[in-house]
Chains A and B, each alone.
Chain A
Amino acid sequence: MWLPERLQEVSLFVLERDVEAVTDVVLRSASLHLEEVESETWAPQRRWSELAGRASALARRARDLLDDLALEPGQDPDEPVRPGRELDGLEAELASLEVRVAELRQRLEAQRNELDALELARSQLQLLSPVRVPVESLGDLRHLHLVLGTMPAENLTRVAAALFSIAFVLTPVQVRAGRALVAAASTFEDAAVLDRALRSAFFEPAPLPTDRRGLPQQALADLDGYVDEVRRHGVELRHERDRLADALRDRLLPLEARLRRAAAAADAIRRYPSRGEVYLIAGWVPERQLAAFAGAVRVAAEAPVVLEQVPPGASRQGVPTLLSTPRWLRPFTGLVTTFGLSGYRELDPTAPAAITFVVMVGMMFGDVGHGLILAALGGVWWLRARSPLAVVVVAAGLSGTVFGTLYGTVLGAPRLPALWLRPLYSIQELLLASIAAGVVVLNVGFALNLVGRARARDWQGLLIDKSGVAGWLLYWTLLGGGGLVLLGRLPASAVLLPAALLAALLWLREPLMARLARRRAEPLGESLVTGFFELFEAVLGYASNSLSFVRLGAFAVAHEGLSAMVLRYGSEPGGWFVLLVGTALIVGFEGMVVGIQALRLEYFEFFGRFFHGDGTPFVPISYQGGHDARTRS
């Protein structure tokens, strides 16, 4: 729950003859996050880049064949694919199927094109139908430059705007599939301007239908009969396509599946560095899957495979993160991942973030009625969309209900005995409790930081840092000691001296650490100035971070006040509308504000103490995950 899955850095040294079989196992297991290693002696082979591109193109051609025959992709094959060895055979098989389909494909395409051309001619003739001139003479105009053609419909206004310097006519006839059929005309003198404007609006000229004869009306009637004939031919072609699909199905579906897998495998292999006959498959595998992974790899390879496994050392950079959040906590992961993904050595703060978020929202939104409404809305949302966020809303609503019981309020009215306090009547007590809650949250943050630093063996950060031991002691010296001084239990000097010593330690952190680590220190003056401002910011931060939690109480007071006001005006004759809108506003708008505030406290005050959130997600290579690491997040 607190830590991501333990990973092992794995390096597989595989002989060329086994690289495909091993890759197949790796992709099937979907448990290796590939690391792209490159050095002067180990580099990916160009041959595999070419093969990957070729396999990808073949897979695409196979998919096109499926589309041509209106077939759905088939099941993935059980046997491993060997792109390097099989690709020629697969390509030959694909080519033979393409030959079978090509002629039909061409006829189908020709039929579609002919139909399109006829439809275009039909539209042109419709446009020309008022003209009492035989169609065949339209090509002989002397003073008018007339063009017909299609262009993107959205460019019509653009082209009209572009022709601001000449006189022109632009008549759209019809729009089909986003393209408009237009007739455009200008004088012969302006023909070049018109043509340039049309061309730059992606106009595609369609020659005037001068192959038709007679007046446009008559030509149109002739054309309609021919269009029906071409359509009937299209239906016959589609029947023929279905028969061909039935005949080729058993060859094409397995072929397409193999090519798809071959493309994925070749794409993985092209990323392996190699040296001579040996390929290096390096990456990260979850520790609990390692034995099964290694076993499967060894079984797949004919020659012995050298498998080096190294647990990531403390200084190892770039280890990906595979969260192992328990099922019940998963809906809350969004609270953390919105900020960032925890690094491999970082503690996953989902559990404390979930608890503190829910408690803080409940404290600010404490009301039995409003809480139950929020929880019910979350429940409906869950039933409709199964969104993880719905669970967070339900939890927040229930927390509001619990705090509502403590405050004794139901829909803004004090209908229950307050088990703790009434926010409007115990403001001071509530604000102090809020600060106390803040102190608890901040201290959890300090503690998590110490654990995280210790895990990372960052002793300097653990001991001398504003969120380390020295910072924590300074925080308590100022907060606890300061409180005792105010209560007269301690003399001021008893607090000032240790506080000054701790502050000095933090101030001189950089030069001290440089000396201890025997490294070159930054110039002393610069260190002192930077250190002073960092110390100033840290001390200010201790106070402001703690006081920031006052908002928990302040919002609880505001919530009760607002609810009471809605109740007051809602209880007057005809006030149901106020009650309804007011409650909706409180649940919706105030819920939003409270959410912002709780997240703000989480991210700034809590996470700021210990969490970096700059982890890299663990993305295993697999057949399902596509064939491009860049495409997966």
Chain B
Amino acid sequence: MMGPFRHAASQAQARARHASLLDAGAWQALLAEVSLEGVAERLGRALDVELPASPAALERFLEQRLAAETHAVAALQWGAPHRLLSAFARRFELANLKTLLRARHHGVAVERCEAMLVPLPHTVLPWRAILAARSVEEVADLLAATPYARPLRTVLEQQGEATPFPLEVALDLAYLQTLVRRVLALGGTDGRRARVFLGEWIAVENLSWAFRYRRLAGLTPEETVNYTLHRAFGAGLAAVRRVAIGAGVAEEAARLGYRIDPELPEEAALASLQRAALSRRFAAAARLFDRAVFDLGAVLALLTLRQVEVTDLVTLIEGLAEGLEREAVAARLIGPGHRLEA
């Protein structure tokens, strides 16, 4: 009954929000700024808020804004698209939770830990109580009614008060498995769009996990396969097995249609793959908004464009903080600021 009206509202919302993305002019002005204060001020004027001129605070603000936008667009969907977008919006919560588990493990003070979290006004997790929890077991109890409890308990049952690594692996895996199921639950055009915008992201994430588990964590093939997704839109079980027994980044990236320099070291190659994947999704999102699209694609494209905007702003902020040249920063951008003259 309310479906058509919600659909109407969500389409209108996506288009209205699309208009608030920073355009080439705004990027040109941002790139012309020589200091972080200038960027914060100009960005604050564009967004009509007062922004702090510290890289960490700015980045947290941008993440918070992205989270709020994801939540807002999810709220207007219904049925399978709503379930998908709600799950997608949970990635910010998940990131906070992982930060918190890591901070607990390293004995970071509650106040400092709280300051590291991205404020998420729309989540219902009892952050204060989680911060004050005496054990991971208690954290799992506090999260009882959420999708995070089960993976945490699974690890705790096996390993007791575990180190953050298995906890994070279990949380990540459960999260992306849910997301994969929700993408697969969508049929028709909505399903195709979800595969383009979320499926490709999931595929690259899965490959990155496999490479990092193999190299950085030194896991054996059977562990690598167990800690990764087996269905991941072109980078599932077969890809993970190949990685587990020694395939290279360029080789696997080529199977997904990305050209990565085979001479690059593995970490750089992975970064290059993630950048290429985001660029491809950005191009798809921009193309979609050039046409009159009235399906989930408009919403997913909006979120992709906003994600690129946030990624680019973070690149700009970090670039300024590290004293990079304008041209170097512009060359690293993906969105409208890419290769603009400062």
How far is the CB of B14 from the nearest CB of chain A, in Å?
A: 10
B132 and A631 contacting across the interface, CB-CB below 8 Å: no
CA distance A60 to B132 in the complex (A): 11
Known pairs A589-B4, A628-B127; A202 contacts B158 (CB<8 A): yes
How far is the CB of B1 from the nearest CB of chain A, in Å?
A: 5
Q: Is A630 an interface residue (CB 8 A)?
A: yes
Within 8 Å CB of B15, what residues of A?
600, 603-604
B134 and A202 contacting across the interface, CB-CB below 8 Å: no
Within 8 Å CB of B222, what residues of A?
162-165, 193, 196-197, 200
Closest residue on chain B to residue A203 by CB atoms: B158
Q: Is A626 an interface residue (CB 8 A)?
A: yes
Q: Is A152 an interface residue (CB 8 A)?
A: yes
Q: Which of B118-162 contact A (CB under 8 A)?
A: 119-129, 131-134, 138, 141-142, 150, 154-155, 157-158
Known pairs A152-B154, A162-B222, A165-B222; A614 contacts B129 (CB<8 A): no
Contact of A197 among B11, B19, B157, B223 (CB under 8 A): B223
B120 and A630 contacting across the interface, CB-CB below 8 Å: yes
Binary per-residue interface labels of chain B (222-245) against chain A in the complex, 1 for a CB within 8 Å, 0 otherwise: 110111001000000100010000
Q: Is A145 an interface residue (CB 8 A)?
A: no
A201, A533, A598: most-surrounded residue (chain B CB, <10 A): A201
B13, B25, B225: most-surrounded residue (chain A CB, <10 A): B225
A162 and B226 contacting across the interface, CB-CB below 8 Å: yes
Closest residue on chain B to residue A54 by CB atoms: B132
B110 and A53 contacting across the interface, CB-CB below 8 Å: yes
Binary per-residue interface labels of chain B (202-232) against chain A in the complex, 1 for a CB within 8 Å, 0 otherwise: 0000000000000000011111011100100
Known pairs A53-B110, A630-B120; A592 contacts B226 (CB<8 A): no
CA distance A158 to B226 in the complex (A): 6
A60 and B138 contacting across the interface, CB-CB below 8 Å: yes
Contact of A387 among B2, B125, B155, B223 (CB under 8 A): B2
Q: Is A591 an interface residue (CB 8 A)?
A: yes
Q: Is B328 an interface residue (CB 8 A)?
A: no
How far is the CB of A216 from the nearest CB of chain B, in Å?
A: 27
CA distance A178 to B13 in the complex (A): 40
Within 8 Å CB of A197, what residues of B?
222-223, 225-226
Within 8 Å CB of B125, what residues of A?
631
B138 and A52 contacting across the interface, CB-CB below 8 Å: no
Q: Is B332 an interface residue (CB 8 A)?
A: no
Q: Which of B90-124 contact A (CB under 8 A)?
A: 110-111, 119-124
B7 and A592 contacting across the interface, CB-CB below 8 Å: yes
CA distance A318 to B48 in the complex (A): 11
Contact of A200 among B5, B131, B223 (CB under 8 A): B223
Closest residue on chain A to residue B3 by CB atoms: A592
Within 8 Å CB of A163, what residues of B?
222
Within 8 Å CB of B131, what residues of A?
53
How far is the CB of A456 from the nearest CB of chain B, in Å?
A: 12
Q: Is B37 an interface residue (CB 8 A)?
A: no
Binary per-residue interface labels of chain A (499-524) against chain B in the complex, 1 for a CB within 8 Å, 0 otherwise: 00000000000000000000000000
How far is the CB of A603 from the nearest CB of chain B, in Å?
A: 4
Closest residue on chain B to residue A150 by CB atoms: B157
Closest residue on chain B to residue A194 by CB atoms: B222
How far is the CB of A259 from the nearest CB of chain B, in Å?
A: 12
Chain B interface, DSSP helix/strand/loop, else mixed:
helix
Q: Is A394 an interface residue (CB 8 A)?
A: no
Q: Is B340 an interface residue (CB 8 A)?
A: no
Q: Is B327 an interface residue (CB 8 A)?
A: no
CA distance A49 to B223 in the complex (A): 41
Contact of B129 among A56, A154, A603 (CB under 8 A): A56
B158 and A56 contacting across the interface, CB-CB below 8 Å: no
Within 8 Å CB of B9, what residues of A?
334, 338, 595, 599
Within 8 Å CB of A113, what residues of B?
none
Binary per-residue interface labels of chain A (262-292) against chain B in the complex, 1 for a CB within 8 Å, 0 otherwise: 0000010000000000000000000000000
CA distance A474 to B7 in the complex (A): 37
Binary per-residue interface labels of chain B (26-70) against chain A in the complex, 1 for a CB within 8 Å, 0 otherwise: 000000000000000000000111100000000000000000000
Known pairs A201-B226, A202-B158; A628 contacts B126 (CB<8 A): yes
Q: Is A624 an interface residue (CB 8 A)?
A: no
Within 8 Å CB of B132, what residues of A?
52-54, 56-57
Q: Is A478 an interface residue (CB 8 A)?
A: no
CA distance A595 to B3 in the complex (A): 11
Closest residue on chain A to residue B119 by CB atoms: A630
Q: Is A75 an interface residue (CB 8 A)?
A: no
Within 8 Å CB of B223, what residues of A?
162, 196-197, 199-200
B25, B120, B121: most-surrounded residue (chain A CB, <10 A): B121
Q: Is B198 an interface residue (CB 8 A)?
A: no
Q: Is A588 an interface residue (CB 8 A)?
A: yes
Within 8 Å CB of B220, what residues of A?
193, 196
How far is the CB of B118 from the nearest CB of chain A, in Å?
A: 10
B4, B48, B124: most-surrounded residue (chain A CB, <10 A): B4
Binary per-residue interface labels of chain A (598-621) against chain B in the complex, 1 for a CB within 8 Å, 0 otherwise: 111011100100001010000000
CA distance A425 to B328 in the complex (A): 62
Binary per-residue interface labels of chain A (333-365) against chain B in the complex, 1 for a CB within 8 Å, 0 otherwise: 010001100000000000000000000000000
B50 and A317 contacting across the interface, CB-CB below 8 Å: yes
CA distance A57 to B135 in the complex (A): 11
CA distance A629 to B264 in the complex (A): 46
Within 8 Å CB of B227, what residues of A?
200
Q: Is A569 an interface residue (CB 8 A)?
A: no
Within 8 Å CB of A56, what residues of B?
128-129, 132
Within 8 Å CB of B154, what residues of A?
152, 202
Within 8 Å CB of A596, what residues of B?
7-8, 11-12, 294
How far is the CB of B291 from the nearest CB of chain A, in Å?
A: 15
B134 and A165 contacting across the interface, CB-CB below 8 Å: no
Closest residue on chain A to residue B48 by CB atoms: A614
Within 8 Å CB of B128, what residues of A?
52-53, 56, 267, 627-628
B8 and A599 contacting across the interface, CB-CB below 8 Å: yes
Q: Which of A562-586 contact B (CB under 8 A)?
A: none
Closest residue on chain A to residue B19 by CB atoms: A604
Within 8 Å CB of B138, what residues of A?
57, 60
How far is the CB of B247 from the nearest CB of chain A, in Å?
A: 14
B1 and A338 contacting across the interface, CB-CB below 8 Å: no
Contact of B49 among A54, A595, A599, A614 (CB under 8 A): A614
Q: Is A91 an interface residue (CB 8 A)?
A: no
How far is the CB of A373 from the nearest CB of chain B, in Å?
A: 12
A592 and B8 contacting across the interface, CB-CB below 8 Å: yes
Closest residue on chain B to residue A201 by CB atoms: B226
CA distance A490 to B63 in the complex (A): 56
A588 and B16 contacting across the interface, CB-CB below 8 Å: no
How far is the CB of A98 from the nearest CB of chain B, in Å?
A: 15
Q: Which of A196-211 contact B (CB under 8 A)?
A: 196-197, 199-204
Known pairs A196-B220, A200-B222; A392 contacts B127 (CB<8 A): no
**What are 18 A-B pairs with beta-carbon distances under 8 A?**
A46-B111, A152-B154, A164-B225, A196-B222, A200-B219, A200-B227, A338-B76, A377-B1, A530-B25, A533-B25, A599-B11, A602-B12, A604-B16, A607-B16, A612-B48, A630-B127, A631-B123, A632-B121
Chain A interfacial positions (CB closer than 8 Å to B): 46, 49, 52-54, 56-57, 60, 152, 154-155, 157-159, 161-165, 178, 193, 196-197, 199-204, 267, 317-318, 334, 338-339, 377, 381, 387, 389, 392-393, 530, 533, 588-589, 591-593, 595-596, 598-600, 602-604, 607, 612, 614, 626-628, 630-633
- Known: A53-B132, A197-B223, A604-B15; 4 extra A-B contacts, CB below 8 A, are A60-B138, A164-B222, A204-B157, A317-B50
What 5 pairs across the A-B complex have the smallest Cβ distances?
A53-B132, A592-B4, A595-B8, A599-B12, A197-B222
